[in-house]
A and B are shown apart, each in its own frame.
Chain A
């Protein structure tokens, strides 16, 4: 069913307007990165730089601390995502497919953390990681947040809907429950893993408060921590700061673009019955 022409034009205009207003702040940030110190906040106001100069981007990309922060955050985010998926998907499978003693009670224990706000345990978690000697190591960023009740809950919903027949066939063939998890369930889990993995990756990449509390070693500074420090130390150099922010946001935007198909369907899986 095709709509009449005027309506289609109206929709096209709306699409452009909505997209522009959503993406404008990001475009504004990237454009400011091209402006020199004197023109970035000039009166009279102007949209575009006099000359498109790459200097800010080149400067920030040549800052060894910035590059280091990007790399170390990337490595940490990958490790965090992998650990989270392994730990949470195993528990999700057990709760979806296995029968064991005390399952109902364990379920309550595993789901309670979903309702504990981070702030309520911020101080005592800090004391725990201090006592464990984890301060100023990558482990303090990777391990404490890996177990996620929400992620486990989501994966369990997904596994609950798996056809039982395949599993029974494998059982008759003498496969163990764990083998079934590895060979039957995991290969089918790409879509929810991408959605959940993105969530983990973004949470790690964008984290600020926890790294600020636990990391003081400049070699381990995380990217958002770097940006926060940059703003307090050199906050008036807006062009450079905007260039740095653009480069720090770029990897996450690329991730969304690469996996857009999964995200859009992911919400459907998430909303699955």
Chain B
């Protein structure tokens, strides 16, 4: 669904695919076909394998999760229907809201910075010769291929007391700082590898959007005496609106679901300062008691309703829009 590489670890290994809305949608649906061209048998055979896999590993687990969230499970008694009670518990839980707060803070730390860096780097790449641009595109993409586990381990190493980050601070006579054990620094420290892993794909999509803007717009603006900032502000940014909106929404949705980095780097600590919503849910799963299970399941479903709706709406908008050319 989303583009950034903050790949959902998840059971479904769903890879993140860059589907950037850089252009006009070609057609709404296939042209009407005569009856004799229908090919029900072939079509059903071709969609069946994927359809069955989705049924077993996505649709059924989803339905089952909704079902479970409506019951109180008990080892000794049959499950008892409790309706939306768990939803109420979750919405009243302080820890849940705190994790949402952490998630939003992580979003604020990573998404705007990632977008700005991507826009700057993409604008720079656009001005380069073909060869230099090729080198830069490959370079920015490399971190996207690195696993969050490797990045976590690597940045924990960098944040050690005698590690690179503290040496760097020492250069300007600051520090040393206890990066991952200081509640106010831990999340920003985790955001750095988050941005590093994610900005490459964003940059490439942004660049594709930039290249779709006709050169003639810039040429005529230049003739009218517009400087670089005016050209960026009045041409680039408005015309990149859809691409940016897409990247913003997918970026927010991916970032608020961050799990691996805090899981491996801090395990949510210190004092829950890095317990993102998904880590909160994941830790409740691991707790294993029936109450914790139902509780975390319900929390996950609540997040799904919100995030899924946002993504679905934006997906609809972008796929029906005239996109950047406007």
Contact = CB atoms under 8 A, between A and B. Distances in A.
Nearest to B259: A209
A183 B188 CA distance: 52
Given A117-B304, A271-B208, 20 more contacts: A22-B139, A22-B196, A23-B139, A26-B154, A28-B164, A99-B37, A115-B315, A118-B12, A121-B61, A124-B62, A125-B11, A125-B58, A144-B11, A145-B13, A150-B17, A202-B15, A242-B154, A264-B138, A270-B18, A271-B212
Chain A to chain B: the 9 pairs with minimum beta-carbon distance, closest first: A118-B10, A145-B13, A206-B147, A273-B23, A271-B22, A147-B53, A124-B61, A120-B304, A100-B43
A227 B149 contact: yes
B147 A43 contact: no
B21 interface: yes
A49 interface: no
B132 A116 contact: no
B141 A260 contact: yes
A120 B162 contact: no
Nearest to B304: A120
Nearest to A204: B13
A94 interface: yes
Contacts of B128: 11, 15
A94 B194 CA distance: 37
A150 to B, nearest CB: 4
Interface residues of A, number: 111
B141 A256 contact: yes
Contact of A41 (B18, B162, B205, B212): B162
B155 interface: yes
Nearest to B138: A260
Interface string A101-141: 10100100110111111111111111110001000000001
A177 B20 CA distance: 30
Interface in B195-251: 196, 200-201, 204-205, 207-209, 212
A122 B10 contact: yes
B81 interface: no
A267 B59 contact: no
30 contacts: A15-B135, A45-B164, A99-B37, A109-B54, A112-B59, A116-B304, A117-B304, A122-B285, A124-B65, A124-B68, A125-B12, A126-B11, A127-B64, A143-B57, A149-B1, A150-B17, A202-B15, A206-B148, A206-B150, A207-B10, A207-B13, A231-B153, A242-B157, A248-B147, A255-B145, A257-B138, A264-B138, A267-B18, A267-B208, A270-B19
A255 to B, nearest CB: 7
Interface in B269-326: 278, 281-282, 285, 293, 296-297, 300-301, 303-304, 307-308, 311-312, 315, 323
B26 A273 contact: yes
Contact of B47 (A106, A114, A161, A249): A106
Q: Which of A42, A154, A161, A177 has the most chain B CB within a 10 Å cutoff?
A: A177
Contacts of A23: 139, 142
Interface of B: 1, 7-27, 30, 33, 37-40, 42-47, 49-51, 53-54, 56-62, 64-65, 68, 121, 124, 127-128, 132, 134-143, 145-151, 153-158, 160-164, 167, 170, 193, 196, 200-201, 204-205, 207-209, 212, 257, 259-260, 263-264, 278, 281-282, 285, 293, 296-297, 300-301, 303-304, 307-308, 311-312, 315, 323
Per DSSP, chain B at the interface is: helix
A238 B162 CA distance: 12
A147 B13 CA distance: 10
Contacts of A94: 42-43, 46-47
Given A270-B20, A273-B24, A252 B155 contact: no
Interface stretch (A50-58, A61-69, A84-92): A84-92
Contacts of B53: 87, 143-144, 146-147
Contact of B9 (A98, A208, A255): A208
Given A93-B46, A242-B154, A117 B257 contact: yes
Given A98-B43, A128-B60, A144-B11, A106 B26 contact: no
A91 B315 CA distance: 20
B17 A122 contact: no
A43 B121 CA distance: 35
A100 B39 contact: yes
A74 interface: no
